[in-house]
Chain A
Amino acid sequence: MRSIEDKLDERINRSLDTIRVIPPRNILKAGIGREKYIVEVKALNSAATSDQAVSESLLDRLKVWIKTSPFQLRRKERFSMVTTLSTLIIIASLVFGGVGASVYAAQDSLPTEQLYPLKTFSEDLRLRLTEQTQTQLELALAFAARRMGEIEALHTSGEAIPMEVASRLQKHLDYALKLAAGIPDNQMNQALEQIRATIQNQEQTLQRLQKTEQPDPTLEMIQEMLRARNRVCEIGLEDPLTFREQMRSGWGQSEDEHPEQPESSPSPGDQITTPEPSAGTGPNVAPGSGEGAGPGPGDGGCTDCEPVQDGSGPGPGPNAGDGSGQGQGPGSGECTNCDPVQDGTGTGPGPQAGGSSNPETPGGGGNSEGNGGKP
C-alpha cells in the first residue's frame, strides 16, 4: 500500500483520507436492512417451492409426457420391431395360410377344375413326405379311391374322363403293388388283400357305371387295367416270390414315377398300360402262354462283369420249358471280358429255360441272374 500511495500526491492522498474514514454504521438501519434481506430470501424460497408445484408450460409437459409415458415409450420402441415382426407374420400368413387354404379348397376339386393340379401336387407331396411303408400304401390306395370317385363324378355329370385321371389311378395302384412287394411276406399278403379289395370295389363301381350308360371306351380301358392289377394281386397272394420278381423286373413302368412326377395337366398322349402279368414264371402257368414283360434283350455291352450263371435265379419249374420267362439280362452275348461260370449248381431253369448260358446268344440271359429268358 505504501508503494501505491507513494505514487499519489500528498494532496490527493489527503483528499482520499476525507472519504476513507466513515462514521460507524447505524445499527438500527443495518438491522432493518438485514431483516428486509431475510424476508426477501424467505419469499424467494417459498416462491421457488411453489414454482415446483405449478405445472410446467404446455410444451414442457408435452415433452415430459412423450418421454415418460409408458404407452408412448413402448409404442415408440416397439414400433420398428412390430413392423418387422408384423411384416413377417403377414407374409407367412399370406404364403402359408393362403397356400394352406388353397390346398384345402382343392381337395374337393375335380380334374376339370383349376385347383385340381394343386390337389394332385399335395397328394404327391404327402406321399413323398411319408416314411412308413404301410402309411404310404394306405395313402396310395386312398388316392386311388379318390381317382375312382372323380371318375364316377365326371361320368355321372356327363363329362369326359381325362386320361390323366386314369393314368394317375394306374400309378396309384402300381405304386401300392410295388410297396407290397418290398415288405415281408406276412405283411405283403395283407397289403395285397387291401389292394385287391380296393381294385374290386373300383371294378364294381365301373360295372355299375357301365350298366347305366352306354359303353365308355375310357371306362373299359380302366376296367381292363384294374383286371390286370387284380391278377397281379392274386399271383402275389399265391406265389410271393414270383410276385416280388415280377415287381423287381419293372412291371408297371409308371410305378417308379409315382411320387416324383405329379402330372399337373391332362395330356392327350397319356396311355394307361395294361401289362399282362408274365404267366410263364410260375409252376401253374400254362406252357407257352407267357410273354416276357422284361426290358428285353440288352446290348450285351457288359465289359467288366463276371457273369456267374449258376442258375440260382428263381426260374420257372419244369413245366416252363416252353416258357416265355422274362429275360432280364442284356442278352446280346457280346461280352468278351466275362468269364462265364457255368457250374449249373443252382436251382435255375432246365435246359429249356431261357437263361442261356451262352453269352453269345442274342436275347439270352447274359445276366448272371437270368431267370428264364425267352429262349
Chain B
Amino acid sequence: MDSEQALLQRAHRFEEQALVEIYDHFSPGVYRYAMRLLGCENLAEDCVSETFSRFLAVIKCGNGPNKYLQAYLYRIAHNWITDHYRRTHSISWENEANSHFDPNDDPQQIASQNIDGARVRHALERLTADQRQVIALKYLEEWKNDEIAEALAKPVGAVKALHHRAINSLRRLLISGDDPL
C-alpha cells in the first residue's frame, strides 16, 4: 500500500483501486471500534458500511481529508455510533445476545460477560460524545493523544481535559454505583 497521503491523492481522483485499498486497510479497525462500542456485529457492519459510504460521498464531492485518513474514518464511525445512541437511547440486551456465542463456553460466564459488557457500554453511553471517543480511542484502540486530537479535530490539551473528565465520570458510573443499570 502506498503512503496514506499518496493513497488519499489517488482517492481524490476517485481511482477504484485506491478506494478498495483504503477499505481493505481501514475497515477492520473501524469494525473493531464499532463492535467494541456497540457490542453487535450487525450494527458494527452497518457502521462500517455507512462510514465508508459517507467517505465515498465526501471524496466524490471533492472534499475530504488530505491527511490523517484513519482519524477521519474513525470520526465518521464515532458520529454514526453517537447518532445510534441517540436513536436507541440505550444499549439493548439484544445486541449482547447477538454477539458471538461459543457453545463450548460456560453459559454462566458468557452471561456474566455480557452483563458486564452491557454495563460498561451503557456507562460509556452516559459520557459525552467526545469523552466517549477519547476513552474508546485511548483505552480500547490504544491511540496516542495527538492521534485522538486529529480524530476529534481538537487540540491535544482539549483531549487531555476530556480524558480527565471522562475517567472521573466512568469512576462515578462504574465504581460509585451511579450507573442506573
Please tell me if the beta carbons of B20 and A45 are within 8 angstroms of each other in the complex.
no
- A16 interface hit (Cβ, 8 Å): yes
Also in contact, A19 and B16, with CB within 8 A (given A12-B175, A30-B31, A37-B49): no
B20 — which chain A residues lie within 8 A by C-beta? 37-38, 41
Please tell me if the beta carbons of A25 and B60 are within 8 angstroms of each other in the complex.
no
CB contacts under 8 Å to B, within A328-350, are none
B23 — which chain A residues lie within 8 A by C-beta? 34, 37-38
Please tell me if the beta carbons of A12 and B174 are within 8 angstroms of each other in the complex.
yes
Please tell me if the beta carbons of B31 and A19 are within 8 angstroms of each other in the complex.
no
Please tell me if the beta carbons of B174 and A11 are within 8 angstroms of each other in the complex.
yes
B142 — which chain A residues lie within 8 A by C-beta? 1
CA distance A272 to B125 in the complex (A): 128
Interchain CB contact (< 8 A) of A24 among B52, B100, B113: B100
B48 — which chain A residues lie within 8 A by C-beta? 33
CA distance A8 to B48 in the complex (A): 30
A12 — which chain B residues lie within 8 A by C-beta? 167, 170-171, 174-175
Please tell me if the beta carbons of A18 and B56 are within 8 angstroms of each other in the complex.
no
A34 — which chain B residues lie within 8 A by C-beta? 23-24, 27
Q: Name which of B2-10, B35-43, B65-73, B75-83 contacts chain A.
A: B35-43
A11 — which chain B residues lie within 8 A by C-beta? 174-175
CB contacts under 8 Å to A, within B134-181, are 135, 138-140, 142, 167, 170-171, 174-175
25 A-B interface contacts by CB (under 8 A): A8-B167, A11-B174, A12-B167, A15-B116, A16-B139, A18-B116, A19-B117, A19-B140, A20-B139, A23-B100, A25-B32, A25-B41, A29-B41, A30-B27, A30-B45, A33-B27, A33-B45, A33-B49, A34-B23, A37-B19, A37-B23, A37-B27, A37-B56, A41-B20, A45-B14
Please tell me if the beta carbons of A9 and B175 are within 8 angstroms of each other in the complex.
yes
Please tell me if the beta carbons of B167 and A7 are within 8 angstroms of each other in the complex.
yes
CB contacts under 8 Å to B, within A312-329, are none
Please tell me if the beta carbons of B27 and A20 are within 8 angstroms of each other in the complex.
no
Please tell me if the beta carbons of A15 and B174 are within 8 angstroms of each other in the complex.
yes
Please tell me if the beta carbons of B120 and A18 are within 8 angstroms of each other in the complex.
yes
Please tell me if the beta carbons of A40 and B32 are within 8 angstroms of each other in the complex.
no
Closest to B117 in A: A18
A15 — which chain B residues lie within 8 A by C-beta? 116, 119-120, 123, 174
> Could you say which of B28, B116, B138, B139 has the most chain A C-beta atoms within 10 Å of its C-beta?
B139
- A44 interface hit (Cβ, 8 Å): yes
Please tell me if the beta carbons of B140 and A9 are within 8 angstroms of each other in the complex.
no
Interchain CB contact (< 8 A) of B60 among A5, A9, A29, A44: A44
Please tell me if the beta carbons of B27 and A19 are within 8 angstroms of each other in the complex.
no
- A36 interface hit (Cβ, 8 Å): yes
CB contacts under 8 Å to B, within A35-66, are 36-38, 40-42, 44-45, 47-48
B residues contacting the other copy or chain, number (CB 8 A) = 43
Contact with A along B101-124 (1 / 0, CB 8 A): 000000000000100110111010
- B92 interface hit (Cβ, 8 Å): no
Please tell me if the beta carbons of A25 and B31 are within 8 angstroms of each other in the complex.
yes
A16 — which chain B residues lie within 8 A by C-beta? 120, 135, 139-140
Also in contact, A41 and B117, with CB within 8 A (given A1-B142, A15-B174): no
Closest to A41 in B: B19
Beyond A15-B123, A41-B56, 15 additional pairs, beta carbon < 8 A: A1-B142, A4-B138, A11-B174, A11-B175, A18-B117, A19-B36, A25-B28, A29-B45, A33-B48, A34-B23, A37-B49, A37-B56, A38-B20, A38-B23, A44-B60
Also in contact, A48 and B24, with CB within 8 A (given A15-B119, A19-B39): no
B53 — which chain A residues lie within 8 A by C-beta? 37, 40
B28 — which chain A residues lie within 8 A by C-beta? 25
Please tell me if the beta carbons of A18 and B113 are within 8 angstroms of each other in the complex.
yes
CA distance A20 to B167 in the complex (A): 17
Please tell me if the beta carbons of A4 and B139 are within 8 angstroms of each other in the complex.
yes
CA distance A16 to B120 in the complex (A): 7
- B99 interface hit (Cβ, 8 Å): yes
B171 — which chain A residues lie within 8 A by C-beta? 9, 12
- A129 interface hit (Cβ, 8 Å): no
